[in-house]
Amino acid sequence: MLLTNTRKLTLVAVLSALSFILMFYQFSFLIDFFKIDLSIIAILLALVLLDFKSAVWVTLIRSVLKLALNNKGLETLIGLPINIIGVLVFVLAFAWIWNKERTHGRFILATIIGTISLSITMVLVNYVYAIPLYARFMNYDISKTLGLVHYLAAMVAPFNLIEGVIWAIAFGLIYTLLQPILKKYENNNTLGEGKLRPSHFCHSRVYDSFLPATINWF
């Protein structure tokens, strides 16, 4: 039996809340305002359990929660749109390459394509959006203090390459840890040798197992 709309909305809400909570756990890399969080794990879980559209909704809802409950002023107003774009670019790579055929090879390919796409996108977004806004509203002209080319090529690009790899490893570990739940309810017709196990959470009993376990994280 497929998930009802109510159950689907509930799962989106739970994953949105989980993603929002994970945004609190950040660590800096390279410089102070380059921070990595693992909120994307819940978003990728939405992709696996539901679909790409649901993953987008989880991204947007947790971002609204961030604005409403943990808004740090200009830092959030400038940084959050950048984060949303980066996350969706990375998730899109997994939706396009890996989600329909979940093999180890496709997971690695999605990681490579997603990470490179993330890095290129963030260089462009920083150039046309972040750097001008930081200079205008926060009196921090990166082109003068660090040098535009140096900042983009030696800091933004490497940071996002590393971030993409960290995201993929973290999600891969969580996905693997969920396998004992998935194996109980998987569809035998979709399995193949050497594949990462697909998750068929659309089955209501899987939902009933996963949702209470997720809520207990809170």
Q: If we measure between CA atoms, which residue out of 17, 3, 7 comes closest to residue 214?
A: 17
The tens digit of pLDDT for each residue in 48-57 reads 988 999 999 9
Task: Tell me what pLDDT residue 127 has.
Answer: 95
Considering the entire predicted model, what is its pTM? Answer: 0.81
Residue 9 has pLDDT above 70, yes or no: yes
pLDDT at 195 over 60: no
* Mean pLDDT along residues 171-181: 88
Kindly report the CATH number assigned to the domain that includes residue 66. Answer: 1.10.1760.20
Report whether 19 contacts 43 (CB < 8 A): yes
Query: Which of the pair, 38 or 3, is modelled with greater confidence?
Result: 38
- How many angstroms separate the CA atoms of 11 and 208, rounded? 10
Instruction: Tally the domains of the chain.
Output: 1
Domain of residue 105, residue span? 5-215
